[in-house]
């Protein structure tokens, strides 16, 4: 579906209302496509009251003020054979299979650990600077 920024936020908030503990939302898309905007909308939909920022340099931010804990991953900066070691050191399994919701930006960089039942969302830029294509798979 083709949406503007408000539509992208609406989809994120609506999705949040359906999320259950242990859900992983795997976001993919080009740099600047709207993954962090979508993650912020999911947080809003979960009732998170904290300021949501991209965890690009810390890899994960934890938010516990909402209906469910939200674990926001950004694996963009991870590369090479150490990716999985770094995630292992963070305890990724405890997050993915725990009592909260995980939103993973750049999930396509870690396909081996994204659960088969993850909600997979591709956000793509279009020829129009204010429109994004959103695909669920």
What integer pLDDT is reported at residue 84 of this predicted model? 83
Instruction: Indicate the SS3 state at residue 75.
Output: coil
Sign of torsion over alpha carbons 52, 56, 57, 62:
positive
With a pLDDT cut of 70, the percent of the chain lying above it is 98
**Cα separation, 123 vs 126, whole angstroms:** 10
Residues 6+ apart with CB under 8 A from 21: 68, 98, 99, 100, 101
Domain around 91: 2-136
pLDDT digits (tens, 9 = 90+) for 19-77: 999 999 999 999 999 999 999 999 999 999 998 888 777 789 999 999 999 999 999 88
Res. 131 pLDDT band, cuts 50 70 90: very high
What integer pLDDT is reported at residue 78 of this predicted model? 77
Whose CA is closest to 1, among 19, 14, 20, 16? 14
Domain with 111 in it: what CATH number?
3.40.50.300
The total of structural domains in the chain comes to 1
């Amino acid at each position: 579906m083709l949406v503007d920024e408000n539509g992208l936020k609406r989809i994120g908030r609506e999705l949040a209302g359906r999320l259950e503990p242990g859900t992983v939302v795997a976001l993919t898309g080009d740099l600047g496509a709207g993954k962090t905007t979508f993650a912020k909308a999911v947080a809003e939909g979960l009732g998170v009251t904290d300021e949501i920022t991209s965890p690009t340099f810390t890899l994960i931010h934890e938010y516990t003020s909402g209906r469910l804990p939200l674990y926001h991953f950004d694996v963009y900066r991870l590369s090479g054979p150490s990716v999985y070691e770094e995630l292992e050191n963070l305890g990724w399994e405890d997050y993915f299979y725990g009592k909260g919701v995980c939103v993973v930006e750049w999930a396509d960089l870690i396909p081996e650990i994204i659960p088969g039942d993850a909600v997979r969302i591709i956000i793509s830029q279009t020829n129009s600077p204010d429109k994004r294509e959103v695909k669920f798979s």
